Amino acid sequence: MTAPAAKPAATVGELVRRRLQELKRTPQELADAVEVPAGYIDDLIAGCRRPPLPARTDIYSKMTTFLRLGRNEVMACATAERAGTARGRAAGPGARVRGSLMELCEPGTAQTLERRRSKGGSGSAELAGFLQRVLDVVQGSVRRTLDDPIGLRVAAAGSGSTYLALRFKVLEFLDVTAETLTMEDLNEFLRPRVTRWDVDLATGVLRVVMRAPPPRARVLKREPVKGLS
């Protein structure tokens, strides 16, 4: 008698748990393979963490290889899970974060957008949408740092952090929205990258002027050992 086919996983956590059991591997081994803290995988399996956006992470390709899954299986599951838990239209960031983002906007445009927002109605949703688009641009830039592990290691060393901790911080930032953006996110990721942003209010065309990326920090030379030439 043919064994019944496994029921499709409803969540990424269920899919990961099942494959780890089938392969007799551990969450820690998966965490090492995808380069995230073990607690990240534990939270994903337990359903305490929503799976990250497929377009803004590199963990799904690593996860697919380690768990020997179909090419798009885990990403399709993540997309469906996020769609099923999606909330309504974002209300935009809090007042403090919004104010800091508006400081980066072209002054004339900022005044017009704030005036429209203060009138209520569609003005608040309009501004929230523009701020989300600015964030999308920055996240696209930050996403590319994941493709340069050497640069990420150098940056971690220069900041007194570890590669794993900095990589995890990047992954966390890539999954925030304008509504959940914090001042820490803004100061660490947006301000160092955005010089100015503006939008043509007639056409909705957004323009974000990015700062030139700083040259990769050089590895400090080792001090010569005393007594040796």
Residue 218 banded pLDDT, cuts 50, 70, 90: very low
Question: Are residue 51 and residue 106 in the same domain, yes or no?
Answer: no
Question: Are residue 203 and residue 111 in the same domain, yes or no?
Answer: yes
- 209: β partners: 196
Answer whether residue 146 shows pLDDT above 90: yes
Is 224 inside any structural domain? no
> Which of 49, 82, 115 represents a domain boundary (last residue)?
82
Q: What is the mean pLDDT of residues 15-39?
A: 96
Assign 138 to helix, strand or coil. helix
**Which amino acid type is present at position 166?**
L
Q: What total number of domains does the chain contain?
A: 2
Question: Are residue 103 and residue 198 in the same domain, yes or no?
Answer: yes
Which pair of structure tokens corresponds to residue 211? 């700062």
CA terminus-to-terminus distance, the chain: 77
Q: Which candidate, 90, 99, 217, 108, places its Cα nearest to that of 158? A: 217
Is 202 inside any structural domain? yes
Answer whether residue 153 shows pLDDT above 70: yes
Query: How many angstroms separate the CA atoms of 223 and 221, rounded?
Result: 6
Residue 216: other Cβ atoms inside 10 A: 12
Question: Are residue 107 and residue 204 in the same domain, yes or no?
Answer: yes
Residue 6 banded pLDDT, cuts 50, 70, 90: low
Question: Are residue 68 and residue 102 in the same domain, yes or no?
Answer: no
Distances (CA, A) of 137 to 9, 32, 207: 32, 29, 10
Answer whether residue 133 shows pLDDT above 80: yes
Question: Are residue 69 and residue 115 in the same domain, yes or no?
Answer: no
Percentages of the chain per state (helix, strand, coil), in multiples of 5: 55, 5, 40
Question: Are residue 153 and residue 47 in the same domain, yes or no?
Answer: no
Question: Are residue 75 and residue 110 in the same domain, yes or no?
Answer: no
> Are 90 and 83 within 8 A, CB to CB?
no
Question: Are residue 56 and residue 101 in the same domain, yes or no?
Answer: no
> Which of 52, 82, 112 represents a domain boundary (last residue)?
82
Is 200 inside any structural domain? yes
Report the predicted TM-score, pTM, of the whole model to 2 decimal places.
0.82
Q: Which candidate, 189, 121, 134, 145, places its Cα nearest to that of 57? A: 145
The position carrying tokens 């005036």 is 115
Question: Are residue 111 and residue 73 in the same domain, yes or no?
Answer: no
User: Could you list the residue range(s) of the whole structural domain that residue 185 is in?
Assistant: 95-210
Question: Are residue 115 and residue 200 in the same domain, yes or no?
Answer: yes
